[in-house]
Structure 1
Amino acid sequence: MSQRPQSHDRALSSRFHFWNTLSWSVLGLLPTAIAVLDADETKKYWSLGLLTLIACCYAVVMTVPRNPILRPEVYLVVLALFLGALSYLLEGAAAFYVVSLPQFWVFARSPRAAIILSGIAATAAVSGSTLRQGWSPQLLTGNVVFTVIAYAAGIALGLWLHRFVGQSNERTEQLTSELEEAQRKLVEAYRAQGATAERERIAREIHDTLAQGFASIVVLAEAARSSLAEAPDTCGQQLESIAQTARENFAEARVLVGSAPQGGVVPGSVATTLRRTLDRFVQDTGLTVTAALEDIECDHTARIALLRCTQESLANVRKHAGAATVGVVLARQPYGIELEITDDGRGFLVEESHGFGLVGMSKRLAELDGDLTVTSSPGDGTRVLATIPMSSQD
């Protein structure tokens, strides 16, 4: 998770080294080389040789930073000696010292090492010009004074930059730590959200399958007990329905625990599936059901959603409506698939109903970009309209 800050730091370091190399070459090496071209032969060749040597050393340190011989600290000592020799040849090297100052703070291991090594370089530069010209009061001006001032200014600026960079690094580490913590919490939140969604899905499946099946078994068992003495044939039929419902619940339970293929729906068209459900409903309740089921092709997820909506609506009719007639219409409309279930029961106030079944139906359809509309009022029956848009079936 911290790769981005590290790569950002490497990019900044690379840009800094590029500009430092460019400025050192353009403002240090090149002007000095041009300046000695008109000098006498000895001074010119020695100066150009020293410039070439220090440039090669710098190139080695930059391109092979971990070489066992010319380590950065060794290079800084060589640079200090070079400044002393160049100052001796040219009677001063204050300008080259100023341009080279950043290298002491870049390559040294610590601010203390940078101060010591840049001080050695300043001493070498002053000593070189002093040996060349000899001691005199005039040495307190010009290159010597400029070198001393540059050394002092370099210390002040270097310490300030070191502190600034240190604070920036601490802030970066803090932000990185906060980012990692936020990402960890986000992952935990996604995991918790996924677990919650899975619990809701399982609860919805249990309600729409096992709970409805057990409710049917209870109703059929009570009816069978009532008709045991008076209508043995009817009782036998009800017991068979109980057995069939129990088998279906067992199959649905295997689906929920993952030991059977998902869906729990027998293959076939959605119309065939709904017709089978309606036949069982008529057999168990004795209510009149009128059905107009168009043979519609749809995917497995849509089939399950339409079946569960039908099962939940019929269960509500059985438990709450007190209806005599139920109507079911399945049709393809220009905008998609439409399933309408109506009854002539007692009705209810939709705005006061917060049952899990209606919420579950609405969520199932919402997962397919569909919609559920429930229309009812006391004494006027109920109309449930489920729609699935055509786009979800393309």
Structure 2
Amino acid sequence: MTTKSTRSAAGPPAADRHRSARTVLSERADFWARSLRGWDLAFYLGCAIAACAMLVTGGLVAAVALSIGILVLLVVTYLTIGRRAAVSGSEPLALAYLAVLVVATVALVWIDPVSTIILFIAYSQIWFFSPSRRIGVAICTVLTIGVFGALVVTSPEEGVANIVAQGALALAFAVLLGLWVTQVAEQSEDRADLIARLEAAQEELGLSHHAAGVAAERERMAQEIHDTLAQGFTSIVMLAQTASADLHRGEAERAAERMALVEQTARDNLAEARALVAAFVPAGLQGSTLGEALERLAGRFEQETGVRVELIVPTTGPGVPVLTRDTEVVLLRAAQEALSNVRRHAAAQHVRLMLSAGGDPADGTAGVRLEVVDDGSGIAPSAQEGIGLRGMRARVRSGGGEVAVGGVAEGGTRVVVTLPMPDGDTTDSATTDSDPPDDGTTDQETAP
């Protein structure tokens, strides 16, 4: 039996015909083709069994011949109308075939009562081709009345009450079984449709996550390149130009010093490139602490620009932040970007770079604070942030922190990066003072 009771017509379900997923359509079409072949086989086998039963009963030759002729007519109608209705889903063709099926079945039983065996085929095909439950029940009722009415006329010896009881039982069995199988099949189709939609949604979600991951990784790599290789190449270009100017002035010794810095910066850039390819931590943090990496960064910046850098990094004692590697990476990149902006825009003579424990006094949360202050030209209120500063903000915010950029009263620019830390990530209570501790635990590095 099939599930056409609530569908628009016989044939593949309407939901399948409107599905956009080609693979689902292909799979359901293959299933429908296999099912139709099974119905063909069942129909032909049932007709063959009915024909054999008519021949075995040994009735009148004319009656047997007429019955066989009606069976042949039914088979031809199935091939020309019924099967077309099953393949095309045409409701008029399906109803036309069912009309022929009912008339042929009643005629066969009228001629020979043994033809009631054909009811097994007739009831099943009614539910196979009926466009709705109501039509299926109505056609089953008409067929039952016709068949058992013919038996009352042709076999009165069986007793009218007995025949009517058999007809009622046959009708109840056909209707109940047809409705139940239809319900089960429709639920199976609905579940199959739901599974197909879920699979399509999962595939779309997977593609969306993949695209988002690719975009995020591209953005991360672009920011990493900007914070490391691009700044290094900028330093190399500036040092090379300075060395060229020294040579023109005949200052070969100073030019040699500049070229040595060019070589060292190029080596650092190579190390950063290898670290990016290997997806490791920044080369400056490999095998060293954040304080040591900042010290090297400040020293190289002084050598390349001549700008004095005052480095304030607590090393031991109270208030020393204990940082995770991810936090150290964010702080180092922020320091690199801040110094790069000083190099390109500030025209400064002095820079103070300070790392200290800090947090939010309002809620008592622990944190770490990086402050970079220069005495340069300052930042215009209408100035727009470049890609470097925007990338710094995005990187810091991904770690739950904030970036503040503003001017200072004496002239210059202050960049403050604040990152949170879990409780217990400092060796002692955090301090939010901008000045270095008085216990001599700071490491200050100035230009020689």
TM-score of the alignment, normalized to the shorter chain, above 0.5: yes
Structure 1 residues 392 and 252: CA distance shift in structure 2, 3 A: farther
Q: Does 1:305 align with 2:330?
A: yes
Higher relative contact order (CA 8 A, sep 6+): 2
The aligned runs of 1:9-158 (5 Å cut-off) are 112=124, 140-141=160-161, 145-158=164-177
Q: Structure 1 residue 365: deviation in Å? A: 1.8
Q: CA deviation at 1:315?
A: 0.5
The one-letter code sitting in structure 1 at the alignment partner of 2:413 is T
1:327 to 352, 355, 366: 352
1:338 aligns with 2:369: yes
SS of residue paired to 1:341: strand
Aligned to 2:422, the other structure's residue is in SS state helix
- Which residue among 264, 284, 289 is the counterpart of 1:269? 289
Cα deviation digits, residues 46-105 of structure 1 (max 9, x gap): xxxxxxxxxxxxxxxxxxxxxxxxxxxxxxxxxxxxxxxxxxxxxxxxxxxxxxxxxxxx
Query: C-alpha separation between the residues in 1 aligned to 2:275 and 2:298?
Result: 22
**How much has 1:333 moved relative to structure 2?**
1.9
2:212 is the alignment partner of 1:206: no
Query: Which moved further from structure 2: 147-156 or 239-248?
Result: 147-156
Structure 1 unaligned segments of length 5 or more: list them.
1-107, 116-121, 127-134
Shift of 1:379: 9.4
Which segment drifts farther, 246-255 or 367-376? 367-376
Task: Verify: 1:227 aligned to 2:246, yes or no.
Answer: yes
- String of CA shifts for 1:214-253, please: whole Å, max 9, x gaps: 0001111111111222433322221111110000011111
1:261 Cα deviation from its structure 2 partner = 4.5
Matched, 1:192 2:223: no
Percent identical: 35
Using the TM superposition, give the Cα deviation of residue 204 of structure 1 relative to its aligned residue in structure 2, in angstroms. Answer: 1.0
Distance in 1 separating the partners of 2:122 and 2:262: 85
* Cα displacement string for residues 115-154 of structure 1 (whole angstroms, at most 9, x for unaligned residues): 9xxxxxx9xxx9xxxxxxxx989x645x764553232133
Check whether the contact 1:342–1:381 (CA below 8 A) recurs between aligned residues: yes
Q: Distance in 2 between matches of 1:319 and 1:332?
A: 29
Query: How far is the alpha carbon of 1:278 from its aligned partner?
Result: 0.5
**Corresponding residue for 1:217?**
236
- Is contact 2:358–2:418 with CA below 8 Å preserved after alignment? no
Q: Secondary structure at the match of 1:267?
A: coil
Equivalent residue in structure 2 for 1:178, among 194, 197, 205: 197
AA aligned to 2:296 is R
How many correspondences in the alignment?
272
Pair 1:373–1:269, CA change in 2 (3 A): same
The two structures have a TM-score, normalised by structure 2, of: 0.54
Contact persistence 1:270–1:297 (CA under 8 A): no
Write out aligned runs for 1:370-389 (5 A). 370-376=401-407, 380-389=411-420
Summarize deviations over 1:12-36 as a string: whole Å, max 9, x none. xxxxxxxxxxxxxxxxxxxxxxxxx
Computed over aligned residues only, the root mean square deviation of the Cα atoms, in angstroms, reads 3.5
Q: State the 4+ residue runs in structure 1 displaced beyond 6 angstroms.
A: 108-111
Q: CA separation in 2, counterparts of 1:379 and 1:109?
A: 100
Shift of 1:300: 2.0
| Cα pair distance change 1:147/1:210, threshold 3 Å | same
2:274 maps to 254
Note the C-alpha offset of 1:393: 8.3
Q: 1:257/1:269 Cα in 2 relative to 1: closer, same or farther (>3 Å)?
A: closer
Three-state SS of the structure 1 residue aligned to 2:356 is strand
- CA drift of 1:307 comes to 1.0
More divergent stretch after superposition (147-156 vs 376-385): 376-385
Once residues 244 and 288 of structure 2 are traced to their aligned partners in structure 1, the CA distance between those partners, rounded to angstroms, is 35
Indicate how the Cα distance of structure 1 residues 392 and 320 shifts in structure 2: closer, same or farther if over 3 A, else same: farther
2:425 paired with 1:390:
no
CA distance in 2, matches of 1:352, 1:148: 93
1:285-313 per-residue CA deviation (whole Å, 9 max, x = no partner) reads: 11122222112432222222111111110
State the partner residue of 1:54.
Answer: none
Find the aligned partners of 2:414 and 2:408 in 1 and give their Cα distance. Answer: 10
1:317 offset after TM fit, Å? 0.5
SS of residue paired to 1:165: helix
Tell me by how many angstroms 1:274 deviates.
0.6
Whose helix fraction is larger, Structure 1's or Structure 2's? Answer: 1
Q: What residue number does 2:400 align with? A: 369
Contact 2:408 2:414 in 1 (8 A): no
Relative to 1, partners in 2 of residues 1:392 and 1:206: Cα closer, same or farther, differing over 3 Å? farther
Unaligned residue ranges in structure 2 (runs of 5+):
1-119, 128-143, 149-155, 316-320, 360-365, 426-448
